[in-house]
Amino acid sequence: MPCVSTNQCLVSLQIIALRLNKSLVIAIEKGIFKCKKYITQILIKKTNLYKSLKSVDNIILPLPFINFLLKHAMDKTKKNYAKRLLVKLREVFPAAECSLEYDSPFELLVATILSAQCTDVQVNKVTKTLFQKYKTPSDYVNLSVESLEAKIKSTGFYHNKAKSILSAAREIISRFGGIVPCSISELTSLSGVGRKTANVVLGNGFGINEGFVVDTHVFRLSHRLGLAVGSVPAKVELELMAVFPQGDWCFLSHALIQLGRQFCKARKPDCNNCPINSTCPKIIK
């Protein structure tokens, strides 16, 4: 019986991994991949080492190795798909951008806080008047909660929103010299500012892609497009960050929001007229 040393086996396995990853990716993309056993089959069949491996009795690729190959190939498959999707979204929504109106990072911060559970159209109506008089953090510090609440009431949840805006304004003055900070850790340290709001301000106000804005549209579309399986926005954000180039995160969140508003609506996705119909796996639950 031919003898294969442990080292020879390891080298063989590495070569298989390098040579056959591409085959595995194609198999997954074409939907011919069915189970882990299949990986062993295609790996062995397509490698130049087939003959030598065949001559060894009872060859079983170790499970951790198969899992490693599978994960690697799946990641690669997902990245290829994400690349195609990005190209398509750039074609369909070349000018996708933030629909909130603002003239400074602070105004954007205020508008983003107001946009929770409210449409951007309604927020823009409110801020059109609000920003005429209240532009900087110091404009807000002497404003009473009641007075601000009255001005933003039509955006809903106005008690909490007024508190968050006033606290953020005070903290920006006391801790950051009146300048909106431009790092995710500093922004999320402000009262009432979560990761989503911080990502909006960083991406649109400062041009910094430090995270992915995962709002209700992006969350829904990430699942329908097969980009994420996470059950909470923080997990979906990590999944999106893993497959898309960092420089495109801000654009992509706006493109997905636009796609969600126009075609992939929560209750009734309009797949027939959707411009990415041919690319989308339509994972609709």
State whether residue 269 is helix, strand or coil. strand
Which of 150, 253, 280, 285 is the binder for ligand SF4 (CB under 6 A)? Answer: 280
Q: How far is the CB of 72 from ligand SF4 (least distance, A)?
A: 27
Q: Which of 89, 224, 227, 251 binds ligand SF4 (CB under 6 A)?
A: 224
| Beta carbons within 10 angstroms of residue 41's beta carbon | 11
**Cα separations (Å) of 94 from 55, 102, 260, 275, 283?**
56, 21, 16, 13, 25
Nearer to ligand SF4, 123 or 280 (CB): 280
The secondary structure of 18-34, three-state, reads HHHHHHHHHHHHCCCCC
Q: Shortest Cβ distance from residue 256 to ligand SF4 (Å)?
A: 9
Owner of token pair 């991994």:
17
| Count of positions on this chain that bind ligand SF4 (CB under 6 A) | 14
Specify the residue, 88 or 153, whose C-beta has the smaller distance to ligand SF4. 88
SS3 state at 162: helix
- Number of other CB atoms surrounding residue 169 within 10 Å: 25
276 binds ligand SF4 (CB under 6 A): yes
| 55: helix, strand or coil | coil
Residue type, 235: K
Residue among 97 and 270 whose Cβ is closer to ligand SF4: 270
Characterise 18 by phi-psi region: left (phi > 0), alpha (psi -120 to 50), beta (else): alpha
Report the alpha-carbon distance of residue 89 to residue 86 in Å, rounded.
5
| CB closer to ligand SF4 out of 121 and 266 | 266
User: Binder to ligand SF4 among 29, 169, 271, 285 (CB under 6 A)?
Assistant: 271
C-beta of 80: minimal distance to ligand SF4 in Å? 18
Q: Which is nearer to ligand SF4, 9 or 271 (CB)?
A: 271
Q: Is 264 helix (H, G, I), strand (E, B) or coil?
A: strand
- Please report whether residue 243 would count as binding ligand SF4 according to CB under 6 A: no
User: Contact between 274 and ligand SF4 (CB under 6 A)?
Assistant: yes
Q: Which is nearer to ligand SF4, 212 or 263 (CB)?
A: 263
Site string for ligand SF4, 65-104 (x = CB under 6 A): ----------------------------------------
Question: What's the closest the beta carbon of residue 30 comes to ligand SF4, in angstroms?
Answer: 20
Residues annotated as catalytic are: 196, 215
**Lookup: tokens for 77:** 């498959």
Q: Max alpha carbon distance in the chain (Å)?
A: 88
- The pattern of x and - marking residues 248 through 267 that bind ligand SF4 according to CB under 6 A reads -----------x---xx---
Q: In angstroms, what is the minimal distance from the CB of 68 to ligand SF4?
A: 31
Query: CA–CA separation, 152 vs 137, rounded Å?
Result: 16
- Site residues, ligand SF4 (CB under 6 A): 224-225, 259, 263-264, 269-271, 274, 276-277, 280, 282, 284
